[in-house]
Amino acid sequence: MGGQRLVFSGYIAGFGTGSGVRLVIGHWTRSPFGAFTDVMVQTAADERVLLAPSAEVAEFVADTYHFDRIEVGPVTAVMSGARLDVTAGELTVAVGIGGPAPLDRLLRLVPGRLAVAPWWLSAIDPIASRIVPGVHTAGSAGQGRREFYGVRRSRRIVSVSGAFGGRDLGGVAPLLPAVGFGFSSAPPDPQIVAVTTTIDEGSAGRFSRRRLMG
């Protein structure tokens, strides 16, 4: 008997910085945990850090991806049409959001329901990884899970300011080298995407829906 299907809808922002710190911010408006924001940080020394708003979120994310260090504490995020501001532990960052990214027009051609369907995302994964090296739409995650990224829109990130660990981030830069949290990286070009992430738990999935819903 298979495990349950968990769906997260919101935004993922991925970008590098002049200091060498690379960030992937998940700003989720709907999920089994409710609305929340988490941040994956990969330092210039390649330490992978998770900043999570609760122990429950931290456990789930850490079971799905790979980290060297996990910090649990308040994560505040405010997103407007042209800006995303996040404060989490030793991180403060303001992200300036610009116009459509290069693939946005192509993404809009795919009907909404199809764009997030796991079978479709599995089928197009080989094509997606060739169009944007390092990026996958389907793959294996921790705890026997399967994960699917259904991106519907994409906008450019045009500026970044802030600090991590007391050090200035140094402005926006390509997300290079690729981050190493899971089977897929964010694109090298800094951008924020509207996305539905679907996670199919394995038959031995650890998280019951009752526990997820609190």
Give every CB contact of residue 81 below 8 A, 6+ residues apart in sequence: 97
Q: What pLDDT digit, counting tens, does each position of 1-10 carry?
A: 357 999 999 9
What is each CA distance from 193 to 164, 178, 186, 189, 196, in whole angstroms?
A: 23, 17, 10, 12, 10
Q: Which residues pair with 79 in a beta bridge?
A: 84
Provide the pLDDT for residue 206: 52
Looking at the predicted structure, is the pLDDT value of residue 13 above 90?
A: yes
With pLDDT > 90 as the criterion, what percentage of the chain qualifies?
Answer: 71
User: What string of DSSP letters covers 91-135?
Assistant: EEEEEEEEEE-TTHHHHHTS-HHHHT-HHHHHHHHHHHHHHSTT-
How confident is residue 144, by pLDDT bands cut at 50, 70 and 90? confident
- Six-digit token pair at 189? 């070009």
